[in-house]
Structure 1
């Protein structure tokens, strides 16, 4: 399962009675046709047609989530009332569950024009590489739609770790295809960031190695100790009660790791 974001202008998002809709309703484009995204993909008009028919026939509602969080029911903030393809993209009319505190907050954010981006989770049923403007792109011709999400621009476009993840996903998605110059540049940039992160991890591990018993705690594989109790003998205790804490990963690195775990879990249907 993959996800794809759509940044919208304020005029492309309408919400509530002030925009001629019922309370808790909003309309937006979950996908835009014909434009190349950061993956080098282009969604073709008609890509959703068959699956929208499948959803309608099933009698079920396409879920509306916040941030693709599939594990926490609080983040299931509503459902899609209507989804249609027009010349511009996949336009959805969604109803927020205003009894859900998170949904009510998202509604306020949409009406206040504090969020203006949609995303959708999908699998590729049919796609293929084509040459367009003398470069290779990948057309998404038929998709299976799992859900649509309201997402924040900051969490999906501005974090460094997403730049790394987007480049990696682009490579995996294009296995066997020639990478475009843009994707090659993104991958080289991702490589430099990963090398920097690896150097930081090495420094942390070196500090842990120098800490003796602290290494056993970090590794989760303690060695056997003499004595029958769980406590260390008095002689094994540190004689430096004011010892400085060992160096650890930076806040940026920890945030990056957490963000990778959350995003990959959301795409695979697995959450921590």
Structure 2
């Protein structure tokens, strides 16, 4: 499972915008732009899965910051979801406002625009790398399986930096004599192997670049840095996700 964060466009929130108490409307995924991790969600990416959710009859969960393990972070459900020309738009209901303090606080944050990013959890059913003629290549997300949506405080880049800092802190603690459970060492080993796979797949620099010289012309295939194949690149994305999940599990367990 992967997650994707983006700046939210909150179209409406609460009774002042003509909605029922606890409701909001937001654009939670934007089509056509290259995001911070090099992905582009294309129109139609959610269409098949939205139809699957409708046939299933269960609502898409709204979860605060992907915190699946906390039952109080399950703050609501999606009432309506559809693709617009801009992206995936949802109308959602934050529930249990009287009994769930977390849900009530998230609702206040949304209305006050103190939280302005949204995220969704997904699996990739169909995707491919696109080599752009101008600019960097990107990974095109063509068909996605949606698991949940929800507001979050910060996006993926900030979270990656936070994980790196936590990992460094954990390493210092272990060097200082702290003992981890065997299961945590096993997860760390899997995370290490996954990260190694990402680094091993990195395209090598040309000799000229290593020497600090300007790169050769783009039409000189003899010295162009090798590109990852379409088969290799998704594996690297999977390895990154596996490493992130393993680190998250350990950090949460040791915090």
Say if 1:48 and 1:143, in contact at 8 Å, map to a contact too: yes
1:195-233 CA distance string (max 9 Å, x none): x949x946973xx4xxxxxx5xx3489xxxxxxxxxxxx
Of 29, 32, 51, 1:31 maps to: 29
**Aligned to 1:68, which of 63, 66, 78?**
66
Question: Quick one: distance in 1 between partners of 2:180 and 2:38?
Answer: 43
- The number of residues matched between the two structures is 188
After TM superposition, give the deviation of residue 36 of structure 1 in Å.
0.5
Q: Counterparts of 1:142 and 1:151 in 2: how far apart (Å)?
A: 23
Using the TM superposition, give the Cα deviation of residue 65 of structure 1 relative to its aligned residue in structure 2, in angstroms. Answer: 0.3
- Give the alignment of 1:31-50 within 5 angstroms: 31-50=29-48
Q: Distance in 2 between matches of 1:76 and 1:107?
A: 13
TM-score (norm 1): 0.61
Once the two structures are TM-superposed, the CA of residue 13 in structure 1 deviates from its matched residue by: 3.6
8 Å Cα contact 1:128/1:139 also seen in 2: yes
Residue in structure 1 matched with residue 139 of structure 2 by the alignment:
138
TM-align CA RMSD: 3.3
Q: Which has the larger radius of gyration?
A: 1
Alignment match, 1:18: 16
The alignment's TM-score, normalised by the length of structure 2, stands at 0.65
Q: Is the 8 A contact 1:69 1:266 kept in 2?
A: no
SS of the aligned residue for 1:109 comes to: helix
Residues 115, 164 of structure 1: alpha-carbon distance in 2 compared, 3 angstrom cutoff = closer
Separation in structure 1 between the aligned mates of residue 247 and residue 48 of structure 2, nearest angstrom? 24
Shift of 1:20: 1.2
Partners of 1:123 and 1:145 within 8 A in 2: yes
Q: Evaluate the alpha carbon distance shift between residue 220 and residue 123 of structure 1 in structure 2; reply closer, same or farther with a 3 A threshold.
A: closer
Per the alignment, in what secondary structure is the counterpart of residue 106 of structure 2?
Answer: helix
Partner of 1:264: 245
Residues in 2 aligned to 1:204 and 1:265: alpha-carbon distance in whole angstroms: 17
Aligned pairs for 1:179-194 (under 5 A) are none
Q: List gaps (5 residues or longer) in structure 2.
A: 182-240
Q: Secondary structure at the match of 2:137?
A: strand
Distance 1:141 1:25, change over 3 A: same
1:38 Cα shift?
1.6
